Amino acid sequence: MNRVWKVAQHRTIAGFSLIELMIAVTIVGILAAIAYPRYEDYRDRINRTDAIADIRDIENLIARYQATTDQLPDSLADIGQAGRLDPWGHAYHYLRIAGADIHGHGKVRKDRNLVPLNTDYDLYSDGKDGESRTPLTAQASRDDIVRANNGQFVGLATDY
């Protein structure tokens, strides 16, 4: 019987104790809390870059349409882009300004001085929040991806 007891004394149990497991989970949680916001920022930058590229692509299609018809399209449907969505899943917005009957220009996008961004057409994405207002200074418009200065600028509304 004495011999059995000695065998039991030399047996070791492999594995984590509860405290070691709690420490490991805490470390993983801290690393995730640090990494997740950086990942979100990275995804936002990628989505903004994709939206800018999409707007440039749509601009090229509009230019091609204008070159063949000598006028701007009335809508994105005229160039086959009616259902095109931005990286956040919202439709792109297009408003023909040149040659259109827009009374008072109430629908055109405006900068902080309330001057229209474009004279030919407006083309923009509502951005991450999916909301937009006419002036770029509105809170809902700050994350919009806009085309301004008749295509000389395409980017984040707050950068314009």
Phi-psi region of 80 (alpha: psi -120 to 50; beta: other; left: phi over 0): left
Domains along the sequence of the chain with CATH: 16-159 (3.30.700.10)
- Measured between alpha carbons, how far is 46 from 31 in angstroms, rounded to an integer? 23
- Measured between alpha carbons, how far is 10 from 99 in angstroms, rounded to an integer? 92
Overall average pLDDT of the 44-68 stretch: 95
Tens of pLDDT, residues 75-116: 999 999 998 999 999 999 999 998 777 654 568 888 888 888
Overall average pLDDT of the 31-53 stretch: 93
pLDDT at 32 over 70: yes
Structure tokens at 72: 């701007």
- Measured between alpha carbons, how far is 61 from 76 in angstroms, rounded to an integer? 9
Mean of all residue pLDDT scores within the chain: 87
Indicate the range of 10-14, 22-26, 57-61, 128-132 predicted with least confidence. 10-14
CA 33 to the chain's CA centroid: 22
Question: What's the CA angle centered on 115, arms 114 and 121, to 5 degrees?
Answer: 120
Closest CA to 141 of 130, 155, 152: 130
Confidence band of 11 (pLDDT split at 50, 70, 90)? low
pLDDT of 108: 85
Given 3-state DSSP classes, what are the helix, strand and coil percentages for the chain, each rounded to the nearest 5?
Answer: 50, 15, 40
Overall average pLDDT of the 42-64 stretch: 95
Q: In this structure, are residues 145 and 122 in contact, taking their beta carbons and an 8 Å threshold?
A: no
Q: In this structure, are residues 135 and 110 in contact, taking their beta carbons and an 8 Å threshold?
A: yes
Indicate the range of 20-24, 43-47, 57-61 predicted with least confidence. 20-24
Give 55: exposed, middle or buried? Use CB within 10 Å, 0-12, 13-18, 19+.
buried
47 contacts: CB under 8 Å, gap ≥ 6:
86, 87, 88, 128
Structure tokens at 93: 């917005």
